[in-house]
């Protein structure tokens, strides 16, 4: 139980003795035993056993061969005697009652303590046992201690590891409750902060050398640079010697309070591997009155300049002192009744009436050094530790206090460290790193490596549109933002639309205006030569109306360029639909004229007389009117509108005109396609007219181009990204307009301007009818 379950200060209601090792041959035996009205028993590891101890027994634990005198533990025994003598000389605390003591040597062996057979224990006050398991009052109802529980130490160690960002560490535990429970509590604490423990080595002072070497090899093979040793000094020392022998350096050691201030390993030889060790220890207290008591010991074995006589920084000895006084105050509360009328107390209960039910839960006093002593419901004192750092000063290893850890008034833990005072294992002020994988830089995320702990990972770049700058995961940017090149911040997406200022926009505008100018020039030619046979033969009224509609078709793309607005979106689609419907209606009218003119040459055919100018206008206006109705309904019900297209994998915001209703949009296109199909069919039927009267062939070619362009347009329109969708639509408009202009009017303009000799009625009305239908 605890560091060593044998290191207890006991309050015993008996005068029986129990077997133990030979005590301090050079010291007087009567110094370790003194009769009194009430006996207090003390067990201390004054000697260290050397041989292996059996791990199991049936009748009684085996004896240990006690060797290795421990001055530090002997000072604890003198502190117990000193405290009892103080209490016996105090006329107020336990007046007329003397305390006696019986001090036994545990030889640092739990099995040796088990050989002792004391009577029922009224209370057990430990000065050194820190195991959190002892706080279980259902199992240990009479156990109290003046040293904080390992529950608090585990918290303190976790705070330390978290403070310095150590996420990849090794651990050593002693093969007993102290080590196993300590590492278990520590593991639970640090796992909450993402710390991984690479390995846990188990050691004990009685282990054979082969087991020690196994743990040392584990340390050498690991990549960890920080190791926590939750082990008593006696168990750790064999391993420490082997670490030094094998010259293992570069490891930052974290110590539990069981060995951080121990004298035996605090040597310059050990410092080469364990220098810079950091850990926690209970608070220290100077006890100047103890000094003369220690110096009264007469022996040639102790050098008077030894640390044994230094009473300025006592820790465990002070715990012993408090434990004795806690028992005395508990006895006072049980045995004495306070007398309000005086400063004295009267005896209410004599020593023979004290039962083995002594409890210390109500003890609450301030000792001679100003320290408040009390126990919580678990029999533990409040948490209070100093942060100790091993440093080499003036040729000696010194335990330098660099901070403290304690419980605040609101119940929270607080760790304060003076960073400037720490010297790390590397010998400088740079904090050691302890990570399996470096923290992923901004712009990357963790990718777990299969088969390894969560602390071991690869860093891979964040995907487009995601960033990382505060966590190890990539987060998606808001809808209107995109990740920068480093993937560590979100920036506004670039707004994209077909602009007047960009090259593609300028080219399309130029082609559009060129087509409009060319069409206008053709119109001028037709007006100027309207009295010539070729113009009259091609129905000048329909031709001029067709040319006018083509000018509008060439100007339509201007509404598609620039940032979309409500009006431009409605205009671009309706203007396109109506002007092309007018254009194709005119072509349809011309096609019908050509077919009826050809049919009129056949005997008995009177169709030509029934399809005059009025009927031609009716066809053009009615066909165009139908498209106007479709467009009006479109604008009335679900008109086109400017829209922003956000694509998760696109770093641009596409500004476009949403058609509002796909059905209406495709109805407009479908109607134009229907008119073009009818034109193509009629023109194809009239393709074998006499060579000189060949307008049907030109219309056939123009409709073939028109239909091919718009059939190709649909898949290209659907698959084109962003502003290229608009460019494809403009290209289709211009291509089909140029097809109509060039196929229908350019041959006629060529004759009018460059072959005027063929621009005669005779030539146009040639009667060579050898080609018939």
Residue 724 has pLDDT above 70, yes or no: yes
**CA–CA separation, 492 and 481 (whole Å):** 4
Mean pLDDT of 356-365: 72
- Model confidence over 411-423: pLDDT tens digits? 788 999 999 999 9
Do residues 435 and 165 lie in contact, with contact meaning Cβ atoms separated by under 8 Å? yes
- Model confidence over 183-192: pLDDT tens digits? 999 999 999 8
Which residues lie across from 43 on neighbouring strands? 104
Do residues 167 and 435 lie in contact, with contact meaning Cβ atoms separated by under 8 Å? yes
pTM beyond 0.75: no
Mean pLDDT of 745-769: 75
- Model confidence over 522-580: pLDDT tens digits? 999 989 888 888 887 767 788 889 899 999 999 999 999 988 999 999 998 899 899 98
Strands (E), 345-452: 345-347, 364-366, 372-374, 384-393, 396-407, 413-417, 444-448
Q: Which residues contact 480 (CB under 8 A, 6 or more apart)?
A: 492, 493, 646, 653
- Model confidence over 86-129: pLDDT tens digits? 999 998 888 888 898 888 877 766 656 555 555 455 667 887 77
Q: What's 579-636 look like in SS3?
A: HHHHHHHHHHHHHHHHHHHHHHCCCCCCHHHHCCHHHHHHHHHHHHHHHHHHHHHHHH
Nearest to 53 by CA among 131, 108, 117: 108
pLDDT band of 361, cuts 50, 70, 90 = confident
Do residues 321 and 287 lie in contact, with contact meaning Cβ atoms separated by under 8 Å? yes
Per-residue tokens: 184: 């278990």
pLDDT band of 30, cuts 50, 70, 90 = very low
**pLDDT value at residue 253:** 97
- pLDDT, greater one: 253 or 769: 253
- pLDDT, greater one: 436 or 130: 436
Q: Specify the 3-state DSSP secondary structure of 713.
A: helix
**pLDDT value at residue 607:** 54
Do residues 446 and 440 lie in contact, with contact meaning Cβ atoms separated by under 8 Å? yes
- Model confidence over 675-702: pLDDT tens digits? 888 888 887 776 666 554 567 777 888 8
**pLDDT value at residue 597:** 65
Mean pLDDT of all residues belonging to the chain: 81
H-helix or E-strand spanning residue 483: strand 481-483
**pLDDT value at residue 538:** 67
Query: What is the per-residue burial (b if ≥16 Cβ within 10 Å, else e) of 725-742?
Result: bbbbbbbbbbbbbbbbbb
Do residues 23 and 29 lie in contact, with contact meaning Cβ atoms separated by under 8 Å? yes
């Amino acid at each position: 139980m605890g560091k060593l379950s044998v290191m207890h200060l006991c309050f015993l209601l008996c005068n029986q003795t129990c077997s133990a090792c030979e005590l301090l041959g050079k010291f007087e035996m009567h110094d370790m035993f003194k009769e009194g009205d009430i006996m207090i028993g003390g067990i201390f590891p004054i000697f260290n056993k050397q041989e292996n101890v059996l791990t199991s027994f049936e009748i009684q634990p085996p004896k240990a061969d006690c060797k290795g005198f421990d001055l530090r533990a002997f000072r604890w025994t003198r502190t117990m005697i000193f405290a009892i003598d103080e209490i016996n000389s105090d006329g107020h605390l336990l007046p007329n009652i003397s305390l006696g003591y019986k001090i036994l040597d545990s030889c640092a062996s739990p099995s040796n303590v088990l050989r002792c057979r004391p009577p029922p224990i009224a209370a057990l006050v430990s000065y050194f046992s820190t195991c959190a398991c002892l706080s279980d009052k259902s199992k240990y109802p009479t156990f109290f201690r003046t040293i904080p529980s390992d529950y608090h130490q585990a918290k303190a160690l976790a705070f330390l590891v978290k403070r310095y960002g150590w996420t990849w560490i090794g651990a050593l535990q002693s093969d007993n409750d102290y080590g196993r429970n300590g590492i278990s509590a520590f593991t639970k604490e640090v796992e909450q902060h993402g710390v991984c423990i690479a390995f846990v080595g188990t050691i004990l002072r009685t282990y054979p050398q082969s087991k020690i070497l196994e743990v040392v090899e584990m340390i050498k093979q690991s990549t960890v640079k920080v190791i926590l040793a939750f082990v008593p000094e006696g168990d750790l020392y064999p391993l420490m010697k082997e670490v030094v022998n094998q010259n293992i350096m570069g490891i930052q050691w974290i110590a539990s309070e069981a060995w951080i201030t121990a004298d035996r390993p605090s040597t310059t030889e050990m410092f080469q591997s364990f220098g810079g060790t950091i850990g926690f220890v209970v608070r220290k207290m100077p006890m100047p009155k103890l000094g003369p008591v220690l110096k009264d010991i007469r022996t040639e074995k102790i050098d008077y300049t030894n640390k044994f006589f230094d009473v300025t920084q006592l820790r465990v000895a002070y715990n012993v002192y408090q434990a004795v006084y806690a028992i005395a105050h508990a006895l006072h509360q049980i045995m004495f009744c306070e007398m309000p009328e005086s400063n004295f107390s009267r005896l209410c209960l004599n020593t023979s009436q004290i039962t083995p039910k002594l409890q210390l839960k109500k003890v609450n006093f301030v000792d001679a050094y100003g320290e408040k002593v009390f126990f919580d419901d678990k029999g533990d004192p409040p948490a209070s530790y100093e942060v100790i750092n091993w440093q080499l000063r003036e040729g000696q290893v010194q335990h330098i206090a660099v901070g403290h850890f304690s419980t605040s008034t609101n119940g929270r833990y607080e760790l304060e460290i003076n960073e400037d005072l720490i010297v790390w294992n590397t010998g400088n002020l740079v904090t050691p790193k302890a990570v399996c994988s470096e923290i992923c830089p901004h712009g990357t995320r963790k990718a777990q490596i299969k088969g390894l702990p969560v602390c071991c990972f690869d860093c891979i770049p964040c995907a487009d549109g995601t960033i990382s700058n505060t966590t190890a995961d990539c987060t998606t940017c808001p809808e209107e933002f995109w990740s920068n090149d480093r993937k560590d911040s979100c920036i506004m997406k670039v707004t994209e639309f077909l602009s007047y200022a960009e090259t593609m926009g300028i080219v399309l505008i130029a082609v559009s205006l060129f087509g409009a100018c060319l069409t206008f020039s053709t119109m001028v030619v037709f007006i100027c030569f309207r009295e010539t046979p070729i113009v009259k033969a091609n129905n000048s009224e329909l031709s001029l109306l067709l040319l006018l509609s083509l000018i509008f078709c060439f100007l339509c793309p201007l509404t598609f360029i620039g940032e979309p607005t409500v009006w431009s979106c409605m205009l671009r689609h309706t203007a396109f639909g109506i002007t092309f419907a007018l254009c194709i209606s005119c072509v349809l009218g011309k096609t019908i004229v050509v077919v009826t003119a050809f049919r009129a040459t056949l005997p008995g055919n009177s169709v030509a007389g029934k399809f005059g100018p009025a009927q031609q206008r009716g066809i053009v206006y009615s066909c165009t009117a139908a498209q106007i109705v479709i467009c009006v309904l479109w604008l009335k019900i679900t008109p086109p509108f400017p829209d922003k297209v956000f694509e998760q994998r696109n770093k641009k915001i596409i500004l476009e005109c949403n058609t509002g209703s796909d059905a209406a949009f495709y109805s407009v296109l479908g109607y134009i396609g229907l008119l073009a199909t009818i034109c193509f069919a009629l023109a194809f039927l009239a393709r074998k007219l006499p060579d000189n009267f060949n307008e049907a062939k030109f219309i056939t070619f123009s409709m073939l181009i028109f239909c091919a362009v718009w059939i190709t347009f649909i898949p290209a329109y659907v698959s084109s990204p962003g502003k290229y969708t608009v460019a494809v639509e403009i290209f289709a408009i211009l291509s089909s307009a140029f097809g109509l202009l060039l196929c229908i009017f350019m041959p006629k303009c060529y004759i009018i301007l460059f072959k005027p000799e063929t621009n005669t009625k005779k030539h146009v009305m040639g009667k060579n009818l050898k080609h018939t239908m």
